[in-house]
Structure 1
Amino acid sequence: MTENLNQRQTDGHTDYGLTDLAELSTGELELSDRAALRRVSGLSTELTDVTEVEYRQLRLERVVLVGVWTEGSAAQSEASLAELARLAETAGSEVLDGLVQRRDRPDPATYIGSGKVAELSGMVASAGADTVICDGELSPSQLRQLEAKLKVKVIDRTALILDIFAQHARSKEGKAQVELAQLQYFMPRLRGWGEALSRQAGGRAGGATGGVGTRGPGETKLETDRRRIRTRISKLRKEIAAMSTVRETKRGRRTANEVPSVAIAGYTNAGKSSLLNALTGAGVLVEDALFATLDATTRRTTTPDGRTYTLTDTVGFVRHLPHQLVDAFQSTLDEVADADLILHVVDGSDPNPEWQVEAVREVLGEIADRREEKLPTELVVVNKIDAANELALARLRNLLPGAVFVSAHTGLGIEELRERVAGLIPRPDVEVEVLVPYARGELVARVHREGEVLTERHTERGTVLAAKVKPDLAGMLGDFAVNGTSV
């Protein structure tokens, strides 16, 4: 077959011909691959079971949402449930209905009161749902009580986010981090059924000819499974530590060369990857979904005046981000703390962008507290202004003075952002005046690439430069100093 196939739509799916694949970016290929693996309605999605105990296997199909409104306004409570619905849809489930109960605090036994449990049970039965998702983290006893009363699978917000992370992790490090977070979450929620709780006798105690001293209790099945998971957690931590060493080596190399670094942080789906593409042309995956990006991506770019710096796209944040994920993604989040500048991206089209800002700064505060140091300078970038109304943008300008307003989709405001970044990242601070021989033209090129050239002229002996450069480059130019310039 020699048919030259173009992109075509077949049964709602995008089909790329052989000649098209070469023209697609890495992000487009990954997006196409992800779309081709959408879940089929009626099929369950289960976490990899590393034990023989049935523990919180997720079957996200047709779901009902339930939340407890303990503080804030009714609008905030509804917005939180709407976000939970988006999380559920991202995980591949169909949201059928939802309810919110006003309480001073969640019920310690069933999360919601007994009256609401009965109402919820009727809602589940009438809607034909097979899963209930609670907008909060449930204790093991609350999970068991609700499942016993509702007769369907019950999961909480934390398990839902972990499931999304498990779907979207691509790199070896990302997959290990997600698995570690899952195991830390599921560890206290292990449960056994029937004989799974019976004790396993040691030695020959189970045999008819056991003999004196060999009979007695051994480990329970549950204890065995917990021990196996603890072993797996320990192994994962060692693997992640080794991988983070590689990341730190790369980061250290950039630091040694004094390449300024900029970290892009923000709420999930605020447009961080789109902004990275707009600034660098990186071609990373862009998808209108929560937590589309889990693996940190670093790209080099230059300021309008020619200075090189790196941009790193990091994992998105969300309200009530599980602590297990914050712990597991320490090495990735360290990219934010070690940067010279943080671009805090806010979705300008979101109905409540100030809540996004608060949630992101809460997680950034946790990172700073853990490292016991201040975070780098923050520049707020309000994205998606092409999809926001003027009234909302005027409110944001008042709420976030000094922010840059851009549209990564249309390119509006991107040049202004480049200028602001150039003004905030560290500048070369060692002034030199050197005569560089023509045979060492690579040094002149490096001064132009990494430094700030003040004057330049060409003579018979070489190129005379007056420039501001970084300390390491100043040291390399020391042998060519003129007029007694100290380097």
Structure 2
Amino acid sequence: MFEVREKPEMVERALLVRLSFNRREEDADISLLEELEELVSTLGVGVVSLELAWSRAMHRKYLCGTGKAAEIVELAHAHECDCIVFDNQLAPSQQREWEELAQICVIDREEVILDIFAQRAQTKEATLQVELARMQYALPRMARMWGHLDREGGAGGGGASRGMGEMQVEVDRRLARKRIDRIKRELASVRSQRATRRKDREKNDTPHAAIVGYTNSGKSTLLNILSGSDIMAKDMLFATLDTTTRSIELPDGQTLLLTDTVGFVRNLPHRLVEAFKATLEEAVLADFLIHVLDASDPRALEFFETTMHVLNELGAEGKPMITVLNKIDKVEDSKVLDNLQEKLEDTILLSAKESLGLDELRQQCTVMLADRVRSHCYRIPQSRGDLSAILHKEAKVMSTEYEGNDVLITAIVPAIIAGRMAEFICD
């Protein structure tokens, strides 16, 4: 009852509009409008036309002036559209005014992203996070979602009894707030379980890296290739909403946990950043980040800045990072790669799809963790089976040989036990 209306399922023809207030930002505005087209198309909605509309100032009622609003509505009717999608964020009152003026469905960028997330969420945590974000978005917009909200009622029975004169909208909002509180409690429980799993990883002192980047940059494909797993990886926006962690073995023999995270977009609604903190905090807590960029996209540098901005919001600034230029097989002009490498320091050229550059990436991951492990040969008396057991449990044993009454064990040893084993080194 309190869900955001599933408008995209009712929509077949949409007019996409971005209101611009600064002509010097035309290129950026066009780019954002084109990205909105990708988002809307991801929902299966037909895009009739893109319209970049200019306004000298922001207005309270329609965000633009009444004359410009009338032009946009006339254009939507001329194209026989059943929806207008704004790239700008609309206040609840502005959304109501536009729908009254146009007499067709009007939504904004945030609602499009919420609908995509609602379709893609799979795990309980992602589903709860999406539901929370949608409920918080819907709460101030309830007055336009149902026509019965202006009815008053007495204190009759029923599941949602109300006092004399209490409007239905007040009952609905009260129930919605209760539901939001319940979702937050369930999320807290899920996050507690996630924290327990993370403590188990930390107890084993297993290094951890998070794969981050703009949506559809190839993060899931990269994780699949490195780990030999089969996570869903498609050429679509927000194919991944649930974090997935897999282990890989690095060239020096140590194990690395890799986590795939949700992709970022420009103008990501702040409520989604808040709602997805439990998912994105994997990036904050990782030992280092692997930042994946689509080198074939002309907006790669913009996407780099977007991802860095969101990471800063999450408190992950200053985290060690490997920057990967992915999809180099799609780049026809080598100057494009030269320019990106010049603008971005210490990049790795890679094609996850064609398995190019993977060895260099694995080696760079090893370099990132160089201070965490040591490779040594240990001479341990056979009477000290407890030490051999520690190496087999806490370290990566590469070989075992016997010499007299001693056991020669070559192992990759994490720093946490290196000191205890120092006197037995026989390098």
Alignment TM-score, normalising by the size of structure 1: 0.79
Q: Identify the range of structure 1 (231-240 vs 430-439) with the bigger mean alpha-carbon deviation.
A: 430-439
Code of the aligned partner of 2:324: V
| Per-residue deviation, 1:76 | 1.6
Provide the residue aligned with 1:180 in structure 2.
132
* Separation of aligned partners in 1, 2:381 and 2:11: 66
Number of the residue aligned with 1:32: none
The aligned residue for residue 159 of structure 1 is: 111
Which of 167, 173, 180 lines up with 1:233 in the alignment? 180
Q: CA deviation at 1:464?
A: 2.7
> 2:174 and 2:69 mapped to 1: Cα distance?
35
* 1:373-388 to 2 correspondences below 5 Å: 374-388=317-331
Distance 1:436 1:191, change over 3 A: farther
Q: 1:264 to 1:107 in 2, by over 3 A?
A: same
| Contact 1:90–1:290 (CA under 8 A) maintained in structure 2 | yes
- Where in structure 2 are there 5+ consecutive unaligned residues? none
Q: Distance in 1 between matches of 2:117 and 2:163?
A: 43
Query: Does the 8 Å contact 1:272/1:345 carry over to 2?
Result: yes
Distance 1:92 1:384 in 2: 25
Conserved in 1, the CA contact under 8 Å of 2:350 and 2:356? yes
Deviation at 1:443, TM superposition (A): 4.9
Q: Give the AA of the match of 2:52.
A: V
Specify the SS of the correspondent of 2:149: helix
Tell me which amino acid in the other structure corresponds to 2:12. E
Residue in 2 that maps onto 1:423: 367
Deviation at 1:460, TM superposition (A): 2.4
Q: Give RMSD over aligned pairs.
A: 2.8
Deviation at 1:272, TM superposition (A): 0.5
Cα 1:70/1:303, change in 2 over 3 Å: farther
Larger displacement relative to structure 2 (310-319 or 345-354): 345-354
Distance in 2 between residues matched to 1:483 and 1:344, nearest whole Å? 38
Q: Which residue is equivalent to 1:437?
A: 382
Which residue of 2 is the match for residue 279 of structure 1? Answer: 226
Q: Which whole-Å deviations, capped at 9, do the CAs of 1:76-133 have from their partners, x for residues lacking one?
A: 2111111000000001101000111233554321123322222222221221210110
Conservation of the 8 A alpha-carbon contact between 1:434 and 1:466:
no
C-alpha deviation, 1:198, in angstroms = 2.7
Q: Which amino acid aligns with 1:223?
A: E
Q: Give CA-to-partner distance per residue, 1:274-331, whole Å, 9 cap, x none.
A: 1111211111101110001000000000111111010000000000111111111111
Q: What are the residue-to-residue correspondences of 1:346-385 with 2, within 5 Å?
A: 346-368=293-315, 374-385=317-328
Provide the rounded CA distance (Å) in 2 between the counterparts of 1:70 and 1:282.
47
TM-score after normalising by structure 2: 0.89
Aligned positions, number:
416
Which amino acid in 2 is paired with 1:81?
L
Contact 1:337 / 1:375 at 8 angstroms: preserved in 2? no
Aligned twin of 2:77: 125
The one-letter amino acid of 2:208's match is S
Q: Which one of the candidate residues 9, 12, 16 is aligned to 1:65? A: 16
Q: 2:413 aligns with which of 469, 472, 475?
A: 469
* Superposed counterparts of 1:28-427, under 5 Å: 49-50=1-2, 57-58=7-8, 59-71=10-22, 73-191=25-143, 195-202=148-155, 217-368=164-315, 374-388=317-331, 389-425=333-369, 426-427=371-372
Moved more, 158-167 or 55-64: 55-64
Cα distance change of structure 1 residues 143 and 70 upon mapping to structure 2, 3 Å threshold: same
Q: Distance in 1 between matches of 2:126 and 2:229?
A: 20
The alpha-carbon deviation at position 467 of structure 1 amounts to 5.6
Cα drift, residue 203 of structure 1: 6.4
* Aligned mates of 1:483, 1:255 — CA distance in 2: 26
- Give secondary structure in 1 for the equivalent of 2:251: coil
Deviations 1:228-263 (A, max 9, x none): 110111011111111111111111111111100000
- Structure 1 residue 391 displacement after superposition: 2.3
Following TM superposition, by how much is the alpha carbon of 1:398 offset from its aligned partner in structure 2, in angstroms?
0.9
**1:462 Cα shift?**
3.6
CA contact 1:260–1:310 (8 Å) conserved in 2: yes
Q: Deviations over 1:347-374 (max 9, x none)?
A: 1111211110111111101101xxxx75
2:199 aligned counterpart, secondary structure:
helix
Contact 1:430–1:471, Cα closer than 8 Å, also in 2 = no
**What SS class does the counterpart of residue 262 from structure 2 fall into?**
coil
Cα 1:69–1:203 change in 2 (3 A) is closer
SS at match of 2:106: strand
Unaligned regions of 5+ residues in structure 1, if any?
A: 1-48, 205-214
| Matched-pair contact (CA < 8 Å) for 1:430–1:474 | no
Paired amino acid for 2:36: L
